[in-house]
Structure formats: structure tokens, C-alpha cells
Amino acid sequence: MATLLKPKAGAKEPINVRRALSLKMTVTARQMHKRFDQSVADIGVTRSQWTLIAVVSRHPGVTQREVAETLEMSEASVGRLIDRLCSDGMLVRQPKEDDRRAHCIHLTDAASTLLDKISGVAMIHEEAIFAGFDADDIARLETYLDRIAVNIAAMK
């Protein structure tokens, strides 16, 4: 990857360092997703499914609208995915106490078991991805990524 992201010798226009970093982050994120998706496919779950399950595990009782906002998906797409995961026994919908039109989404025991398997895969990937990083490196990287996220959010 690194050689493809560097300008070719003799290129007419040097690549801006910020642009090169942006491209590198984009490619790296895609590679991370691809490798992780390949690993969890053996468990029988797709990226859409595991990300939705992860959101619900972190925010039990979340609504479909909140899931859609978090995952930056349409409510209709999230609704279909929730329907599928409910029929697979991974999620349950419960009426929201303060709004009859909305439903709270909760994990089932089956989803919790699946989440444990996914977490195991994630730990293996994290060890490989962050090999050679010490705690200070990780803390600095987190700070930088947080700052980038804030800057992106401010662009809206």
C-alpha cells in the first residue's frame, strides 16, 4: 500500500502531505473492514449485522431512528435489517414507554453469544493492527483521530 500512495518519481505535481494522509487513512480503513469482514463471515454475520448488534449492545433500548443516525443509514434500511435480526432471534422490539409509535431495540441471549464471538475476532485483529504500538502511541493516535472526527463533524 505505502508505495502506491507515494508520488511516482518525476511526477509533475507533488502530492500534498495532507491529501496523502487522507488517502492512506481511507485505504487503511477499507483494508481493516475487509479483513474483519472476512473473519466474521466464518461466524455467519455481515458487516451491517454486526455493526447494528454492536450499536444495540452499547445502547440497549435504542430506537430504530437512533440506530439509523448512528450508522448513517436510512431508517428504512435499518428497519429491514432489524426485521431480519428479529426473525433470526438476535434482537427484540419492545414498545417505548413514552412514545407509542417508537420501539426500543434489545439484544437477545443469542445475539450476546454472537457478540462474544465477534469480540474474540476483534481482539485478534486489534493485536495484529496495533503490534509494535505502546500505550503512549495508542493514546496519541486516539487524540489525533478524535481531533479529526471533531473537524469532520464541524464541516456539516
What pLDDT digit, counting tens, does each position of 13-69 carry? 556 888 999 999 999 999 999 999 999 988 888 888 999 999 999 999 999 999 999
The percent of residues above 90 in pLDDT, for the chain, comes to: 73
What's the pLDDT at 92? 95
Amino acid at 29: A
Compute CA 36 distance to the chain's CA centroid, rounded to the nearest angstrom: 10
pLDDT > 90? residue 155: yes
| Angle between the N-to-C axes of helices 47-58 and 64-71, in degrees from 0 to 180, rounded to the nearest 10 | 120
Instruction: Please report which helix (H) or strand (E) contains residue 125, including its range.
Output: helix 109-129
What's the pLDDT at 156? 78
CA distance linking residue 16 with residue 121, whole number of Å: 36
Global pTM reads: 0.74
DSSP label at residue 8 = P
SS3 at position 15: coil
Provide the mean pLDDT of the chain.
89
Between 120 and 2, the more confident residue is 120
Between 90 and 7, the more confident residue is 90
Spatial CA neighbour of 5 closest among 19, 26, 20: 20
pLDDT > 70? residue 5: no
What's the pLDDT at 98? 81
- The answer to whether 1 touches 23, Cβ cutoff 8 Å, is no
